[in-house]
Structure 1
């Protein structure tokens, strides 16, 4: 199954760009009305030209950035004389707030000057104005002059609720002048010699850099391959001595899956496919995950999953039966789950699950998470809890699977810096912001699944057409108005225990609280689900997420979301 990853909690900043370059010419252009056929203007991001105007952005649920830039270099200074250009610019624009109140406005737009080649940074929407992100916002390398046309009074962080505006550029005029003093012939010759020397030096530098880059890439690849061989050897040595998962030969798995035929395929994702297998000698049906050849990320997840899940033993975790990494093929063998994944029953065409079974599933998932967070020798942060990773055996008992993104940490340690990876709709806001996974971010994901179980709605689907309200906001609103039962899945046909379903949804909201410090531990959530303690008193309105400044981090992946397609359909019948 495919994961869709994106930026959350800040919406729709729009930017107008001007390229700058240190040369010695004046520039003038005047665009009273935009023409889509004109070649003097570049449109990037969401910006689109129409007759008479430019539309900067789409109106959607996602953070959007659009920009318009002049297609030619614009000089601002003469490198020989250090003379600076004078310039004047005029432009008219329209901001349509759709009749919203001031508190609901989005982030506005900005006119800015930047060096040639400046690109829209990833994850730069909202309060970052399309110019910065968490990695670059404090960088001394930022050489940008900008004028912001802000429609929302931001604190340090962009407002974390979904906001949108429509921005249009109607006209644009720009003039610059740069007077250059003439030089004598001697200075010209001297300048030409310097240019020749610089060109030679730059050419040599480029050759050195290119060679260094090639050698670095080769060294890095050899290092990764060496580490992979060490890890695989370690897996063989550690697991083959134990009584747990065993090593399968590739030929055995070829026979069991009928040579990985399409008729045996259960599901497919970005890093491989899952097949149904059968061993005649033991009369056993299994699920075989085959990692796609050439997928380095898939092999990393393969190693991580074996090292973690092979050591775990719990009734609510998928059991790893064995592994294979022969001849460059990487495969994992699991117990076959006849009832497939939870999402196929909640959102697919399979027969809906009745309420007692749903409550048992929620309780079983919580039990699996309690084992991972508190009961095993180390804390396991799963990082990808979602309904498609909740597998169901023949009795609809929960088996949590797909540990390819999981990380180990000591029980007493706080959030773990992991880089951002996961699935849209299930990632906690502070995890998106900081890249730090924790038990609290897993609890948030559990809360989302709990709400999906009760409502029968996907966390990422809009509640209504053209609506910007997500599942948590919608349920919290109805909780505040006293209409919580109106969100219950209609396919239950009102056949449910009102006390239980109200309990599950309130616990779901509690676990999905925007402030991680106000979420329960999974043990506390279980106590409420078991009716050992009273329901929590939640605010009637959904709170706004808050972040501490010192929690900001800059990691290799903090400015981009890894799009990791994790596929855990270990038992979906074709």
Structure 2
């Protein structure tokens, strides 16, 4: 490189010089001649491959990838907007509290006895936290970052059709507020799956406590829990904005909180009606032994069919026996037979011994018999049931054994 200066000697003019070849000698001999025709070029030659088949293939592949990428981005954006719009509509009309799926996944990671850091690398919804199975799916125990315990129902049934109607109905139940109903905390939607979040009930189900090898439920509990359930059902049937028919009253769907208060849970089969509306015919759902006889013929679930299930539950709690035992004995028929032979108190769970109130026991058994009458016209309403259990109304006397038995 040679630097030249202008006349003033201040501004350098820079030139680059390249030596392509040279010839010299150190002695007196003549230096060899240079072949200037074969000198190398100092220009960088750029290979011309833009017209090659390889270049064209690269261009086609890149163009195709870009187009497919744009299509996928547009598809997922529209799908996300669709979900967002639906979720926004649901939040405005029905139920405002939506959980983030990542929050539920993290909440159901670690077993209760292990610390939160243990769960960092684990997947959520672990078998360690599986509480059982409810309507439509599995139920898991979880712990929120605040330390609050929740129960998460993962609805796995294919709900591609009727998704909006199902979600609207379930979300409406989220507005139910009563001390003897299991509180619904919120919801979450992940693609085509729905998660319903409840408060966790620390003492589990009535069924688990009733048939535990240890005698967990004393007589005061067996009298109070049906009273709690009657209060919850009265609210569902008469006191809320709409009439709610639960359709699956049974001990496994009655949960007990820390103080052993009974709470009606699992609304997966519930139906809502206006108070002036008559029940519509639908397919028969429920659990064998708790299904009212008329429901099998008509398919119309009503508050009266809930009353039948409640009556069976009352007898089960007092007697400590399943609606139909392993020998095929039907609990309701067995208790009616004891009543007809003036041996009603022989039906009380023998594990209680003499540790029960005979007056309260008679009330529970008689109300259970009336409510489980095969004739729906002879059953009591939940308001009357609650009044009797609370001592505000007299117990009917002189019952007639149903002719169906």
Instruction: Give me the TM-score of the superposition, normalised by structure 2.
Output: 0.71
Distance 1:354 1:346, change over 3 A: same
C-alpha displacement of 1:543: 2.7
Q: Does 1:237 align with 2:89?
A: yes
Give CA deviations for 1:430-471 in whole Å, capped at 9, x if unaligned: 111110111111111110111111001111324xx3xx4301
2:53 is matched with none
1:33 is matched with none
Distance 1:505 1:386, change over 3 A: same
2:135–2:269 CA contact under 8 A, matched in 1? no
2:107 is matched with 256
Give CA deviations for 1:505-534 in whole Å, capped at 9, x if unaligned: 100000011110111111111121122222
- Work out which structure has the larger RCO, using CA pairs closer than 8 Å and 6 or more positions apart in sequence: 1
Distance 1:542 1:303, change over 3 A: same
**Distance in 1 (alpha carbons) for counterparts of 2:215 and 2:169:** 31
1:341–1:388 CA contact under 8 A, matched in 2? yes
Q: Choose the corresponding residue for 1:394, options 233, 238, 258.
A: 258
Alignment of 1:303-342 (within 5 A): 303=167, 306-342=170-206
1:498 is matched with 358
Structure 2: 5+ residue stretches without partners: 1-80, 110-123
1:288 is matched with 152
Q: Does 1:426 align with 2:290?
A: yes
Which one has a larger percent strand, Structure 1 or Structure 2?
1
C-alpha displacement of 1:377: 1.5
C-alpha displacement of 1:294: 4.2
**Distance in 1 (alpha carbons) for counterparts of 2:348 and 2:324:** 17
2:135–2:266 CA contact under 8 A, matched in 1? no
**Distance in 2 (alpha carbons) for counterparts of 1:266 and 1:350:** 20
2:378 is matched with 518
**Distance in 2 (alpha carbons) for counterparts of 1:504 and 1:474:** 15
Q: Choose the corresponding residue for 1:478, options 321, 332, 338.
A: 338
Q: Does 1:488 align with 2:348?
A: yes
**Distance in 1 (alpha carbons) for counterparts of 2:355 and 2:161:** 44
**Structure with bigger gyration radius:** 2
Secondary structure of 1:534's counterpart equals coil
1:369–1:522 CA contact under 8 A, matched in 2? yes
1:528 is matched with 388
Which one has a larger percent helix, Structure 1 or Structure 2?
2
1:267 is matched with 132
Structure 1: 5+ residue stretches without partners: 1-228, 546-574
2:159–2:192 CA contact under 8 A, matched in 1? no
Deviates more, 1:505-514 or 1:245-254: 245-254
How many residues matched? 311
Distance 1:381 1:482, change over 3 A: same
Alignment of 1:33-72 (within 5 A): none
Secondary structure of 1:247's counterpart equals coil
Alignment of 1:9-88 (within 5 A): none
Q: Alignment RMSD, CA only?
A: 2.6
